[in-house]
Structure 1
Amino acid sequence: MKITTLIERSVNMLIAHLKHSCFVIIFLAFNVSSEPVTVGISVWSGYPSSVAGFKSSLKDAGFIENETVKYLYRNAGADKEKQQDIAKEFTEKKVDLVYSLTTSGTILIKEYMPPTTPIVFSVVTYPADSGLIESFDYSGNNLVGTSNFVPLQNYVKLLKTVLPNAKKIAIFHREGEPNSKIQTVNLIRLFKRVGINAINVAAVTLDDVERKAVKLAREVDAFVTTTDTLMQGGGELRLIAVSKRTKTPILSSNKQGVIDGSTFGSVADLNTLGKMSGEMAVKILHGEAVPAGLQSKIQDSPLVLVNRNSLQLIGLTLPDALKNYSYVD
């Protein structure tokens, strides 16, 4: 009886092992299919460095463009109707994954894409507060990604270091955009704690940005930009033009803004964030994880960048107290 039981157990273990082996073989066969995966890329209004970072992570993992991965690159030009059409196109073409940029763009992708399609995002400052995910630790849905959030205390500390006598500043953002609205409200609160009056400047168009900047330039000690699509879509360039004429310093939230001529900034690197998002996409495409099983992330150490030409034009000298910064020119 004991021998029979032992034999039965051995046979059962062998059958279970064979079943598991067959599952693994089938799973691997599926993942090494000769058919390339299709990834939809929705950039909303640009951000080439983010896309480059994303693609580089996939390439490093063996996803070669036009061989093992096919990209459908789409730019809505910040147009909501076009973004809806892009989401519908991705759905019709049954993409395996979507890489979506910005809060505004990703909100629409989430709304119009099936909940079964994995969505990896980036350039989203407040993904939980804007309702895209439940939290950074657990999305609770088919989304996961990276945030270009920089702890707001960094901005306050940087401004106080470079402009210790500043008393009044103007914070520019797009009217009605969730990301920058949250950022602006919280910055106003933090600056108030250190004795700086921050004016909330909500703009609608590029001309509106410039008009309000010209009006405020003589009243404030600095302009401050936010991480929204209006600032990143030409608004900051308008502020830079006013800054050069009026010698008004700009504290930027955007790396490209400092490169273009804003005076200094505490910023996230969109290429780095793109690579981080790409690493998440690789795990999803390999079948190693689902979005809800991954954590959304921010860049560990934001960059402090200074535009030397802007600094000289305005006539500012960096204090010795400012450490660990880099010039962009």
Structure 2
Amino acid sequence: MKKILLIIGLISLGIIYKVNFTNSSSKEKSKIRIAIFSWSNSKGYIENIQSFKGSLEKYGLVNNKNIIFKEYLSNTSRKKQNELAIEARSWKPNLIYSLTTPGTLIVKEHFKSIPIVFSIVTYPVEAKIIHSLKNSTNNLVGTRNYVSAETQIKLLLKIKPKTKLVGFVRRDIESNSNIQFKDFKKNLLKRGIEIFDIKAKNLNSLKYQLSNISKKMDVLYSACDTLLQSGGEELVIEHSLSNNILPFSCNKRGVRDGSLFGIVVDLSTIGSLSGEKAAKIILEKLTPSELVSESTSKVNIILNFRTLKKLKLTISNEVLSNVSEVIY
């Protein structure tokens, strides 16, 4: 009799476990699944993703309540990004959030119909991620961290008017910085300023390139690409300050770390904008091509006072009046 009761008890527990597991699985399936491809764990990228999630929450889309996130980190490896995209397909996400140009180009190839919202993509049209900012004509829409080369160069010349040679530091074969390099080259040459291309595949390659520069640079510019945003800019700053070269940047973190100045787009702000687009896709059933890809109209001039003193430079009151933040 005891054996019979024990068997009945075990069967009951099994049924309860199965019911609970089934209910839990069913609840998870009913939530909107968002796959996040962060490309790198840089601080700016992390802040961007936090703002993206925060924006969704403002629209009532709350993690583990009616949506669920799954994050994929490739650490800037194209091979790993491809593998993660294949892995993500089996999870069957309802929406993709992708950071950076190289990361988004890879994700785009794996998800042809699922909505993809991107961010931290400087040239989405030129990189062939979308057809135009007003109408992507595909399943992508997003935000970009764009400040024109002309705007950045004008500020540079107010700070260092006798600039003759600018070293442009970038990742080799990254479409984003290739486009940016051409934009800078055109705008510098029309002002009679020479540009020197310093391109590297990884951090070790960049360190070697910097230590073997044959020309005397007035300025070293860190491009808006993933190599510089993932440790490369620290090498540029170290080399610049050791050789009395003015370092300037398009990344806020770069100025915090020692670049003299930068006209930057706040990555948190565009993360929030991307979250708004994702919310409209989810809640209003809009397609990405019905939304506009954009950047924030607000840009910030960040100045590093320690670097200013080290390089023994002076800044005009006109420039100082437009500075948004000073790093001491």
TM range (shorter): 0.7 to 0.9
Aligned twin of 1:9: none
Q: How do residues 300-319 of structure 1 correspond to structure 2 at under 5 angstroms? A: 300-319=297-316
1:204 and 2:201 matched? yes
Given candidates 37, 41, 61, the residue that maps to 1:42 is: 37
Aligned twin of 1:96: 94
Q: SS of the counterpart of 2:54?
A: helix
Aligned twin of 2:22: none
Distance 2:144 2:83 in 1: 25
Aligned twin of 1:264: 261
Given candidates 66, 69, 72, the residue that maps to 1:71 is: 69
Aligned twin of 2:56: 58
Distance 1:183 1:34 in 2: 42
Given candidates 235, 250, 260, the residue that maps to 1:238 is: 235
Could you tell me which amino acid in structure 2 is paired with residue 214 of structure 1? S
Could you tell me which amino acid in structure 2 is paired with residue 43 of structure 1? S
Distance 2:76 2:70 in 1: 17
Given candidates 96, 103, 106, the residue that maps to 1:105 is: 103
Distance 2:214 2:236 in 1: 10
Closer/same/farther in 2, CA of residues 157 and 299 from structure 1, 3 Å limit: same
Whether the 8 Å contact between 1:188 and 1:199 is mirrored in structure 2 is: no
User: What do residues 245-277 of structure 1 show as CA deviations (whole Å, max 9, x unaligned)?
Assistant: 122111101111111111101111110010000
Distance 1:150 1:217 in 2: 30
User: What do residues 47-74 of structure 1 show as CA deviations (whole Å, max 9, x unaligned)?
Assistant: 1011011111011111111112111011
1:124 and 2:121 matched? yes
Distance 1:310 1:59 in 2: 39
Could you tell me which amino acid in structure 2 is paired with residue 86 of structure 1? L
Whether the 8 Å contact between 2:142 and 2:294 is mirrored in structure 1 is: yes
Aligned twin of 2:84: 86
Distance 1:263 1:214 in 2: 20
Deviation at 1:244, TM superposition (A): 2.4
Whether the 8 Å contact between 2:306 and 2:327 is mirrored in structure 1 is: no
Any stretches of 5+ residues in structure 1 without a counterpart?
A: 1-32
Distance 1:263 1:52 in 2: 28
Deviation at 1:207, TM superposition (A): 2.4
Q: SS of the counterpart of 1:128?
A: coil
Aligned twin of 2:327: 328
User: Please, what is the CA RMSD of the aligned residues?
Assistant: 1.6
User: What do residues 192-216 of structure 1 show as CA deviations (whole Å, max 9, x unaligned)?
Assistant: 1122111111112212223332343
Aligned twin of 2:12: none
Size of the alignment, in residue pairs?
296
Distance 2:184 2:195 in 1: 8
Distance 1:233 1:79 in 2: 12
Could you tell me which amino acid in structure 2 is paired with residue 204 of structure 1? K
Distance 1:298 1:146 in 2: 5
Aligned twin of 1:220: 217
1:253 and 2:250 matched? yes
Distance 1:161 1:63 in 2: 46
Deviation at 1:165, TM superposition (A): 1.1
Normalized against structure 1, the TM-score is what? 0.86
